[in-house]
Amino acid sequence: MSNSTLNIIKIGGNVIDNDIQLEAFLEKFAAVPGKKILVHGGGKIATRIASELGVEAKMIDGRRITDEAMLDVVTMVYAGLTNKNIVAKLQKFGCDSIGLSGADANAIKAVKRPVRDVDYGFVGDILADSVNSLAIKKFLDAGFVPVFSAITHNGNGQLLNTNADTIASALAIAMSDHYEACLIYCFEKNGVLLDVNDENSVIENITAAEYVRYKDAGIISDGMIPKVENAFDAINKGVKTVYIGNASNLHLFQQRKFGTCLVNK
Protein backbone atom coordinates (compact mmCIF):
# COMPACT_ATOMS: atom_id res chain seq x y z
CA MET A 1 0.00 0.00 0.00
CA SER A 2 1.18 3.49 -0.79
CA ASN A 3 1.25 6.02 2.03
CA SER A 4 0.05 8.87 -0.16
CA THR A 5 -3.29 10.36 0.72
CA LEU A 6 -6.35 10.42 -1.51
CA ASN A 7 -9.25 12.69 -0.58
CA ILE A 8 -12.69 11.59 -1.82
CA ILE A 9 -15.03 14.55 -1.45
CA LYS A 10 -18.79 14.23 -1.85
CA ILE A 11 -20.97 17.25 -2.50
CA GLY A 12 -24.74 17.10 -2.13
CA GLY A 13 -27.67 18.35 -4.09
CA ASN A 14 -28.33 21.51 -2.11
CA VAL A 15 -25.03 23.05 -3.23
CA ILE A 16 -25.52 21.81 -6.81
CA ASP A 17 -28.82 23.71 -6.93
CA ASN A 18 -27.21 27.06 -6.11
CA ASP A 19 -24.87 28.38 -8.84
CA ILE A 20 -23.06 30.82 -6.53
CA GLN A 21 -22.56 28.30 -3.71
CA LEU A 22 -21.48 25.68 -6.23
CA GLU A 23 -18.85 27.92 -7.81
CA ALA A 24 -17.53 28.95 -4.37
CA PHE A 25 -17.33 25.29 -3.37
CA LEU A 26 -15.54 24.30 -6.59
CA GLU A 27 -12.94 27.01 -6.07
CA LYS A 28 -12.28 25.56 -2.61
CA PHE A 29 -12.21 22.02 -3.96
CA ALA A 30 -9.70 23.07 -6.64
CA ALA A 31 -7.45 24.45 -3.89
CA VAL A 32 -7.30 21.17 -1.94
CA PRO A 33 -3.76 19.91 -2.65
CA GLY A 34 -2.81 16.36 -3.60
CA LYS A 35 -4.76 13.54 -5.19
CA LYS A 36 -8.53 13.88 -4.95
CA ILE A 37 -11.86 12.72 -6.35
CA LEU A 38 -15.15 14.62 -6.42
CA VAL A 39 -18.50 12.83 -6.24
CA HIS A 40 -21.61 14.90 -6.85
CA GLY A 41 -25.28 14.28 -6.22
CA GLY A 42 -28.08 15.39 -8.45
CA GLY A 43 -29.96 18.27 -6.97
CA LYS A 44 -33.43 19.36 -7.89
CA ILE A 45 -32.67 20.07 -11.56
CA ALA A 46 -33.49 16.49 -12.55
CA THR A 47 -36.87 16.72 -10.82
CA ARG A 48 -37.62 20.01 -12.59
CA ILE A 49 -36.53 18.73 -16.02
CA ALA A 50 -38.50 15.52 -15.49
CA SER A 51 -41.59 17.52 -14.61
CA GLU A 52 -41.20 19.73 -17.67
CA LEU A 53 -40.82 16.63 -19.85
CA GLY A 54 -43.94 15.08 -18.30
CA VAL A 55 -41.91 12.34 -16.60
CA GLU A 56 -43.48 11.66 -13.21
CA ALA A 57 -41.11 11.55 -10.23
CA LYS A 58 -42.00 8.55 -8.06
CA MET A 59 -40.57 8.07 -4.57
CA ILE A 60 -40.90 5.05 -2.26
CA ASP A 61 -39.29 5.25 1.22
CA GLY A 62 -37.26 8.27 0.16
CA ARG A 63 -35.82 6.41 -2.81
CA ARG A 64 -36.42 7.61 -6.33
CA ILE A 65 -38.10 5.02 -8.55
CA THR A 66 -36.20 5.07 -11.81
CA ASP A 67 -38.23 3.98 -14.81
CA GLU A 68 -36.73 4.18 -18.30
CA ALA A 69 -37.85 7.77 -18.89
CA MET A 70 -36.49 8.87 -15.50
CA LEU A 71 -33.19 7.07 -16.14
CA ASP A 72 -32.83 9.13 -19.33
CA VAL A 73 -33.51 12.31 -17.34
CA VAL A 74 -30.99 11.59 -14.58
CA THR A 75 -28.40 10.48 -17.13
CA MET A 76 -28.88 13.76 -19.01
CA VAL A 77 -28.79 15.93 -15.92
CA TYR A 78 -26.29 14.20 -13.61
CA ALA A 79 -23.79 12.88 -16.19
CA GLY A 80 -24.35 15.66 -18.73
CA LEU A 81 -25.49 19.07 -17.54
CA THR A 82 -24.24 18.99 -13.95
CA ASN A 83 -21.08 16.95 -14.47
CA LYS A 84 -19.81 18.91 -17.49
CA ASN A 85 -20.54 22.29 -15.94
CA ILE A 86 -18.64 21.24 -12.81
CA VAL A 87 -15.70 20.07 -14.92
CA ALA A 88 -15.66 23.31 -16.96
CA LYS A 89 -15.68 25.35 -13.74
CA LEU A 90 -12.88 23.25 -12.21
CA GLN A 91 -10.79 23.77 -15.36
CA LYS A 92 -11.30 27.51 -14.89
CA PHE A 93 -9.85 27.14 -11.38
CA GLY A 94 -6.84 25.24 -12.73
CA CYS A 95 -8.04 21.83 -11.57
CA ASP A 96 -7.49 19.33 -14.40
CA SER A 97 -10.63 17.28 -13.93
CA ILE A 98 -12.35 14.59 -15.97
CA GLY A 99 -16.06 13.91 -15.58
CA LEU A 100 -16.95 10.26 -15.27
CA SER A 101 -19.89 7.96 -14.85
CA GLY A 102 -19.41 4.41 -13.66
CA ALA A 103 -19.54 3.26 -17.29
CA ASP A 104 -16.50 5.34 -18.25
CA ALA A 105 -13.35 3.23 -17.97
CA ASN A 106 -15.69 0.60 -16.48
CA ALA A 107 -14.99 2.48 -13.25
CA ILE A 108 -18.03 1.41 -11.21
CA LYS A 109 -20.25 -1.51 -12.04
CA ALA A 110 -23.53 -2.08 -10.26
CA VAL A 111 -26.36 -4.58 -10.31
CA LYS A 112 -29.99 -3.64 -10.83
CA ARG A 113 -31.58 -3.74 -7.40
CA PRO A 114 -33.43 -7.07 -7.05
CA VAL A 115 -37.22 -6.77 -6.98
CA ARG A 116 -38.66 -7.83 -3.64
CA ASP A 117 -41.62 -5.78 -2.37
CA VAL A 118 -40.72 -2.86 -4.61
CA ASP A 119 -39.30 -2.63 -8.13
CA TYR A 120 -37.02 0.39 -7.93
CA GLY A 121 -36.47 0.23 -11.68
CA PHE A 122 -33.07 1.13 -13.08
CA VAL A 123 -31.41 1.62 -9.70
CA GLY A 124 -27.96 0.14 -9.25
CA ASP A 125 -26.54 -1.39 -6.09
CA ILE A 126 -22.78 -1.45 -5.75
CA LEU A 127 -21.26 -4.79 -4.82
CA ALA A 128 -18.03 -5.26 -2.87
CA ASP A 129 -15.81 -5.68 -5.96
CA SER A 130 -17.66 -3.19 -8.16
CA VAL A 131 -15.05 -0.42 -8.23
CA ASN A 132 -12.24 -0.65 -10.79
CA SER A 133 -9.62 0.93 -8.56
CA LEU A 134 -6.78 0.32 -11.04
CA ALA A 135 -8.55 2.27 -13.79
CA ILE A 136 -9.21 5.16 -11.41
CA LYS A 137 -5.59 5.03 -10.22
CA LYS A 138 -4.47 5.44 -13.84
CA PHE A 139 -6.34 8.76 -14.03
CA LEU A 140 -4.89 9.92 -10.70
CA ASP A 141 -1.36 8.88 -11.70
CA ALA A 142 -1.77 10.84 -14.95
CA GLY A 143 -2.56 13.93 -12.89
CA PHE A 144 -6.30 14.08 -13.52
CA VAL A 145 -8.99 14.72 -10.91
CA PRO A 146 -11.94 12.35 -11.47
CA VAL A 147 -15.41 13.90 -11.00
CA PHE A 148 -18.07 11.21 -10.63
CA SER A 149 -21.76 11.63 -11.29
CA ALA A 150 -24.12 9.16 -9.63
CA ILE A 151 -24.65 7.02 -12.74
CA THR A 152 -23.22 3.50 -12.96
CA HIS A 153 -23.64 0.62 -15.43
CA ASN A 154 -24.16 -3.13 -15.28
CA GLY A 155 -21.41 -4.05 -17.75
CA ASN A 156 -23.98 -5.24 -20.23
CA GLY A 157 -24.92 -1.90 -21.78
CA GLN A 158 -27.41 -0.75 -19.16
CA LEU A 159 -26.91 2.50 -17.24
CA LEU A 160 -28.15 2.58 -13.63
CA ASN A 161 -29.05 5.36 -11.18
CA THR A 162 -27.02 5.00 -7.98
CA ASN A 163 -26.93 6.85 -4.66
CA ALA A 164 -24.08 9.38 -4.61
CA ASP A 165 -23.24 8.82 -0.91
CA THR A 166 -22.86 5.12 -1.66
CA ILE A 167 -20.62 5.83 -4.66
CA ALA A 168 -18.38 8.05 -2.53
CA SER A 169 -18.13 5.40 0.17
CA ALA A 170 -17.50 2.55 -2.31
CA LEU A 171 -14.79 4.61 -4.05
CA ALA A 172 -13.07 5.42 -0.73
CA ILE A 173 -13.14 1.76 0.36
CA ALA A 174 -11.81 0.47 -2.97
CA MET A 175 -9.12 3.15 -3.31
CA SER A 176 -7.86 2.23 0.18
CA ASP A 177 -5.99 -0.60 -1.56
CA HIS A 178 -3.71 2.04 -3.08
CA TYR A 179 -3.92 5.13 -0.87
CA GLU A 180 -4.65 6.36 2.63
CA ALA A 181 -8.20 7.24 1.72
CA CYS A 182 -9.96 10.14 3.41
CA LEU A 183 -13.70 10.41 2.76
CA ILE A 184 -15.26 13.86 3.17
CA TYR A 185 -19.02 14.28 3.14
CA CYS A 186 -20.01 17.90 2.50
CA PHE A 187 -23.55 18.85 3.41
CA GLU A 188 -25.52 21.82 4.76
CA LYS A 189 -24.68 21.41 8.47
CA ASN A 190 -21.40 22.15 10.21
CA GLY A 191 -20.93 18.52 11.24
CA VAL A 192 -22.40 16.05 13.69
CA LEU A 193 -24.01 18.36 16.27
CA LEU A 194 -24.54 17.95 20.03
CA ASP A 195 -27.60 20.17 19.57
CA VAL A 196 -29.24 20.01 16.14
CA ASN A 197 -30.36 23.62 16.56
CA ASP A 198 -26.88 24.94 17.30
CA GLU A 199 -24.42 24.95 14.40
CA ASN A 200 -21.65 25.79 16.87
CA SER A 201 -22.09 22.53 18.78
CA VAL A 202 -20.03 20.42 16.38
CA ILE A 203 -18.56 17.20 17.80
CA GLU A 204 -15.02 17.55 16.48
CA ASN A 205 -13.92 13.94 16.87
CA ILE A 206 -15.94 10.83 17.37
CA THR A 207 -15.07 7.15 17.69
CA ALA A 208 -17.44 4.27 17.06
CA ALA A 209 -17.78 3.70 20.82
CA GLU A 210 -18.57 7.36 21.42
CA TYR A 211 -21.11 7.28 18.57
CA VAL A 212 -23.01 4.45 20.27
CA ARG A 213 -23.16 6.46 23.51
CA TYR A 214 -24.38 9.59 21.65
CA LYS A 215 -27.01 7.53 19.84
CA ASP A 216 -28.19 5.79 23.02
CA ALA A 217 -28.49 9.21 24.68
CA GLY A 218 -30.62 10.45 21.77
CA ILE A 219 -28.06 13.13 20.87
CA ILE A 220 -27.39 11.68 17.42
CA SER A 221 -30.72 10.82 15.85
CA ASP A 222 -32.84 10.70 12.72
CA GLY A 223 -31.10 11.40 9.43
CA MET A 224 -27.64 11.54 10.99
CA ILE A 225 -27.76 7.88 12.03
CA PRO A 226 -27.43 6.29 8.55
CA LYS A 227 -24.83 8.93 7.57
CA VAL A 228 -22.63 8.20 10.58
CA GLU A 229 -23.13 4.45 10.37
CA ASN A 230 -22.16 4.46 6.68
CA ALA A 231 -19.08 6.45 7.63
CA PHE A 232 -17.99 3.94 10.28
CA ASP A 233 -18.72 1.13 7.84
CA ALA A 234 -16.23 2.75 5.43
CA ILE A 235 -13.67 3.01 8.24
CA ASN A 236 -14.16 -0.65 9.12
CA LYS A 237 -13.47 -1.50 5.47
CA GLY A 238 -10.14 0.31 5.26
CA VAL A 239 -10.87 4.03 4.89
CA LYS A 240 -8.46 5.97 7.13
CA THR A 241 -10.70 8.88 8.18
CA VAL A 242 -14.13 10.26 7.39
CA TYR A 243 -15.14 13.90 7.78
CA ILE A 244 -18.69 15.22 7.79
CA GLY A 245 -19.05 18.98 7.48
CA ASN A 246 -20.36 22.07 5.75
CA ALA A 247 -19.51 22.50 2.05
CA SER A 248 -18.85 26.21 2.62
CA ASN A 249 -16.11 25.34 5.14
CA LEU A 250 -14.06 23.11 2.85
CA HIS A 251 -11.20 25.63 2.91
CA LEU A 252 -10.75 24.74 6.61
CA PHE A 253 -10.15 21.09 5.76
CA GLN A 254 -6.43 21.65 5.30
CA GLN A 255 -6.14 22.75 8.93
CA ARG A 256 -8.27 19.74 9.96
CA LYS A 257 -10.79 22.21 11.38
CA PHE A 258 -13.53 20.84 9.15
CA GLY A 259 -16.70 19.45 10.71
CA THR A 260 -16.71 16.15 12.53
CA CYS A 261 -13.81 13.71 12.15
CA LEU A 262 -14.75 10.05 12.50
CA VAL A 263 -11.82 7.85 13.41
CA ASN A 264 -11.19 4.21 14.15
CA LYS A 265 -9.64 3.94 17.59
Could you list the residues that contact a second copy (CB under 8 A)? 23, 49, 52-54, 72, 75-81, 83-85, 87-89, 91-92, 96-101, 103-106, 135, 138, 142, 144, 151, 153, 155-159
Provide, rounded to whole angstroms, the least separation between the CB of residue 73 and a second copy. Answer: 9
Nearer to a second copy, 73 or 202 (CB): 73
Q: How far is the CB of 72 from a second copy (least distance, A)?
A: 6
- Asked if residue 40 lies in contact with residue 9, where contact means CB atoms within 8 angstroms, the answer is no
125 CB contacts (<8 Å, ≥6 apart)? 110, 111, 112, 113, 162
Nearer to a second copy, 142 or 217 (CB): 142
Give the ranges where the chain is alpha helix by DSSP (H).
Answer: 13-16, 19-31, 45-52, 68-74, 83-92, 133-141, 164-175, 208-216, 224-236
Question: Phi and psi at residue 246, in whole multiples of 5°?
Answer: -85, 130
The smaller minimum CB distance to a second copy, of residues 138 and 257, is found at 138
* Number of CB atoms found within 10 A of residue 195's CB: 9
Measured from the CB atom, the residue of 156 and 197 that comes closer to a second copy is 156
- Shortest distance, CB of residue 209 to a second copy, whole angstroms? 43
Smallest separation, CB 2 to a second copy (Å): 18
CB of 36 to a second copy, least distance (A): 15
Beta pairing partners, 206: 262
**DSSP type of residue 93:** T
Amino acid at 256: R
Closer to a second copy by Cβ: residue 107 or 186: 107
